[in-house]
Amino acid sequence: MKIYVVGIGPGGEGYITPVAREAIEKSDVVVGYTVYVDLIKNLTGDKETKTTAMKQEVERCRMALEECLKGKDVAFVCSGDAGVYGMAGIMCEVAEDYPDVDIEVIPGITAACSGGAVLGAPLIHDFAVISLSDLLTPWEMIEKRISLAAEGDFVICLYNPKSKKRVTHLDRAVELIEKHRAGDTPCGYVKNIGRDGETGVICTLKELSGNDDIDMFTTVFIGNSSTKVINGKLVTPRGYKGV
């Protein structure tokens, strides 16, 4: 009896790695947030599924662990990569109380990689990934990380840029980054990566501010001082000689 914590990638079935697919196929039950279990319903067929709403992460972990204790192999699915703002960490923490349960984390394609590919090659050099969600991290800490990443000239990839309640965080992030980077720095954002309605937009840093198009299904990319737009693609040169 085993729990596979499976990252299913950003969208539909095509983005699931063969290893993740195999873990789902060999599990007796699939547990996850309703939206993600729905995304892979072609794969789960008539397999038993158990879903919970958002923000019930600990309950979802316990649900998977209890299924496992009944002698079942469980695929515990989450979007993108299981270890990037995913469920792998919390599952290991909750499973501390269940030492007999074997846990295997199966990686997936995270939004930074799949979204970066839509825009071109923005993450070729050193980059920082920052979530603007202050549900679990104090906002002061998020501001500090944004400022230091901007000062360090990292390309910055922002997850959870906006939600219905958090509408001003992205504007504040842009304000902090503008202290170290020009307002016309090439940037971009990708909505609904790998899903219906996928859209990639290349814009400038200042155009990210007050942008109503960006929502919680969007990943934002902020170029560093050498990022440029080449034939419609957002590219951060790595510095190969002769190019």
Q: Where do contacts with ligand SAH occur on this chain (CB under 6 A)? A: 10-11, 78-81, 84-86, 110-111, 115, 159-161, 190-195, 216-219
Closest CB to ligand SAH: residue number? 80
Cβ contact 124:235 at 8 Å: yes
78 vs 235, beta carbon nearer ligand SAH:
78
85 vs 154, beta carbon nearer ligand SAH:
85
To the nearest whole angstrom, how small is the minimum distance from the Cβ of residue 175 to ligand SAH?
20
Cβ contact 228:185 at 8 Å: no
To the nearest whole angstrom, how small is the minimum distance from the Cβ of residue 69 to ligand SAH?
26
To the nearest whole angstrom, how small is the minimum distance from the Cβ of residue 195 to ligand SAH?
5
Task: Compute the distance between CA of residue 189 and CA of residue 150 in angstroms, rounded to an integer.
Answer: 17
Angstrom CA distances, 204 to 3, 85, 156, 228, stand at: 43, 26, 13, 10
Q: What value does the CA radius of gyration of the chain take, rounded to a whole number of Å? A: 19
138 vs 239, beta carbon nearer ligand SAH:
138
Q: Which residue has the tokens 């170290």?
A: 180
To the nearest whole angstrom, how small is the minimum distance from the Cβ of residue 200 to ligand SAH?
10
